[in-house]
Amino acid sequence: MSKQINVALIGNPNTGKTSVFNALTGLNQKVGNYPGITVEKKEGICKLPRGVKAHIIDLPGTYSLNASSLDENVVIELLLNKNDKDFPDIAVVVSDVENLKRNLLLFTQIKDLEIPTLLVINMSDRMNYKGISLDIDYLEEHLKTKIALISTRKNLGIDNLKTLIANYKDISIEPCLNASEIDKEYFDNLRKAFPNQLLYKLWLVITQDVNFGKTDRKEIDAVANFKTKSKSDLKRLQQKETIKRYQFINNVLKVGQTIDASQAKDLRSKLDRVLTHKVWGYVIFFFILLTIFQAIYDWSSIPMDFIDSSFASLSEWTKNQLPKGAFTSLLAEGIIPGLGGIVIFIPQIAFLFLFIAVLEESGYMSRVVFLMDRIMRRFGLSGKSVVPLISGTACAIPAIMATRNIESWKERLITILVTPFTTCSARLPVYLIIIALVIPDGRFFGLGYQALTLMLLYLLGFGTAIISAYILNKVLKIKSKTFFVVEMPNYKLPLFKNVALTVVEKTKSFVFGAGKIILAISIILWFLASYGPGEDFNNAENIIKTEYASQQLSNDELQQHIASYKLEHSFIGITGRAIEPAIRPLGYDWKIGIAIVSSFAAREVFVGTLATIYSVGSDEEETIKNRMAGEVNPILGGPLFTFASGVSLLLFYAFAMQCMSTLAVVKRETNTWKWPILQLVIMSGFAYIVALIAFQFLK
């Protein structure tokens, strides 16, 4: 049996840590959350030389072990707790060749914890370009470690990195410097009071709000003859520690690193002047958004049409080939159309994630965050609120989790409350099917009306989030001052492997996450639509035959009338009829009402619900889109999905809180049901009023 070792990947943000993780693990990775907290946990398996397996954890990015957010606390608590199942046998600190000085602060701190610590210097392919040369032997000797010089872009040095990880026992655990010299008397007393504990671990427990096995600050304070310091004294000592570390780092790099400034070819400042310009920056960002939404439509139309017709054919084939009965009906009318309703949107969702990944990988997303901060401040949001609002375009759940790096509780709360307004990928299937039904195919200056409508919905969601934040800022009387700091990484060509892994991982989690819910709901809906109480449902065939006896209907037409009558008097039909009076003023019928109610489980269920409802009893080999287009308004006559009802439905989904998972996360993040219930009531009420006004005005 091969041995497995734990490897912790640690580093500052934007050092290429994720690229190193992807290079080591490939597809053998999974994403989850740390137990009990909503911080993302990425882990994977890597095969090392001599049959050794490495369990690799990609820890959240951190600048130092002086934690200021929950993400950074995760790093410290793991490194302090030897009893944790993920406690590392080796810490791999990933640094960037251009920011080595800053990255080494974290490295020297981890070395003080006496864990074998390997230094990885990434982006080595940029050394010539930036005029940088390194004396690796000198650096290894003075930093008391082994160094792996790698380039994930060129796939250089990865095998050497794996060998160094496998031989982690050869790496010295001796600290680089004696940080306790900043206050010799204090640290000597600390050492005497706790002779069996590692000094730097004690120091972190005293200065940080973290857990450390059975030792906590109360116990340290209670020890006789040990004089504790005030918070301000501790803060000053932390600053002294940081200065001492940087003095050591500067001395090492004076010899170990040479930078020839005349050789550095820097395009970055020129690009930044344009991309973060107070006018052109917004114009370029707007143009990029237009291009993305146009591409989402143009590139995905062929695979979507293929998937749509394939599921319709599969459903028809199932009906014809399998013996008639409840199981065949469940497959053909429940499961297949329900799954088809989500699979059809894989191309567009994959393209959305592709563009987001490219923007992040290239370094442009940080410029967008910086650019949008100018707007955010006016509406009472922290500049850091931009990250959740932008990541909310993928999913509101991780976006709300991302608010944990906002220090001010009130600003964090406002961001949590307004983030669900941004258009997430779960709304995309609803938008796409409705836009396809009610917005014409024409173009305006080369841009399709449908792509423009989709973009307007995204901008509408973002704008509503900003205005809501402004109102909440006034209502909640926020008076806290915060500072916005964002690092501008270097521009780089996105790594194909990183982008591909992101697209696969995100699309997979979307499809499987939504797929489970849709499959379960499709089965329930099929049952509710296939069975009903009373004589109306059970004698549907006789009732319809009697009603249409005088008309010369073909067998197919008769069967359609029977199926429609049965559906109307089924359990789902009765439920839909009960809620129809409330939604009729919005231009919806009872079928749409059922889809709206069921989509509270997850917004994307809307399309799967309609696919299931419209498929029950239908023998035609017809796509879901065609069936919806053929629906007739029972009150007004004509198509059910008109421009007025379509716009009303789009606006309802743009504003409604149609996601119980998001509500659950808001509850967990705010630790009360007060805010999620307010969120549900206010957002749903606002969505209803806007949809009502839109339909009544446009009809």
Task: Label each residue of 278-341 as H, E or C.
Answer: CCHHHHHHHHHHHHHHHHHHHHHHHHHHHHHHHHHHHHHHHHHHCCCCHHHHHHHHHHHHHHHH
- CA 678-682-686 angle, 5° bins: 170
Tokens (6 digits) for 544: 């319809």
Judging by beta carbons within 10 Å of its beta carbon (0-12, 13-18, 19+), is residue 260 exposed, middle or buried? exposed
Q: Could you tell me which residues come within 8 angstroms of residue 634 by beta carbon, excluding any fewer than 6 positions away?
A: 589
Tell whether 18 is in a known binding site: yes
Asked whether residue 59 is marked as a ligand-binding residue, the answer is: yes
Q: How many CB atoms are located within 10 Å of the residue 679 CB?
A: 20
Check the annotation: does 482 bind a ligand.
no
> Annotated binding residue at 123?
yes
The encoded tokens of residue 528 equal 């509710």
Looking at residue 353, what is its pLDDT?
Answer: 77
CA angle, residues 457, 460, 463, in degrees to nearest 5: 155
Torsion, Cα 93 99 104 106, to 10 degrees, reads -70
122 is in an annotated binding site: yes
> Annotated binding residue at 125?
yes
Q: Is the dihedral of CA 169, 172, 174, 175 positive or negative?
A: negative
Report which secondary-structure segment, H or E, holds 32: strand 29-33
DSSP 15: S
Judge whether 473 is annotated as a binding position: no
Per-residue exposure over 210-221, b if at least 16 CB sit within 10 Å of its own CB, e if not: bebeeeebeebe
Nearest Cα to Cα of residue 15 among 359, 626, 492, 562:
492
**Binding residue per annotation — 175?**
no
Is 116 assigned to a binding site?
A: no
Q: Does the annotation list 99 as a binding residue?
A: no
- Residues 400-423: pLDDT tens digits? 766 766 767 788 888 899 999 988
Residue ranges, CATH 3.40.50.300, the chain: 1-263
On whether 383 is known to bind a ligand per the annotation, the reply is: no
Which pairs with CB-CB distance under 8 Å and at least 24 residues apart come from 459-462? 460/654, 461/421, 461/422, 461/423, 461/654, 462/389, 462/421, 462/422, 462/423
User: Per the annotation, does 39 bind a ligand?
Assistant: yes
Was 340 annotated as part of a binding site? no
3-state helix, strand, coil in the chain (%, to 5): 65, 10, 30
The β-bridge relationship of strands 90-96 and 117-122 is parallel
Q: CA–CA distance from 459 to each of 159, 282, 452, 463, 655 (Å)?
A: 46, 13, 10, 6, 12
Does 276 appear as a known binding residue? Answer: no
What pLDDT is attached to residue 407?
Answer: 64
Q: Annotation-wise, does 14 bind a ligand?
A: yes
Give me the torsion for CA of 355, 359, 362, 365, rounded to 10°: -170
Q: Is 401 annotated as a binding residue?
A: no
Annotated binding residue 35: no
What pLDDT is recorded for position 33?
A: 44
Q: Which fold has domain 1-263?
A: Rossmann fold (3.40.50)
Distance CA 132, CA 150 (A): 14
- Tell whether 281 is in a known binding site: no
Query: Locate tokens 């359609």: which residue?
Result: 560
Tokens of 357: 């990944």
- Confirm or deny that 15 is annotated as ligand binding: yes
Instruction: State both tokens at 486.
Output: 């964002």
C-alpha closest to that of 681 among 663, 665, 645, 657: 657
Q: Give the whole-angstrom CA distance, residue 375 versus residue 370.
A: 10
Task: Judge whether 16 is annotated as a binding position.
Answer: yes
22 is in an annotated binding site: yes
List of the chain residues with pLDDT < 50: 1, 33-38, 224-225, 619-621
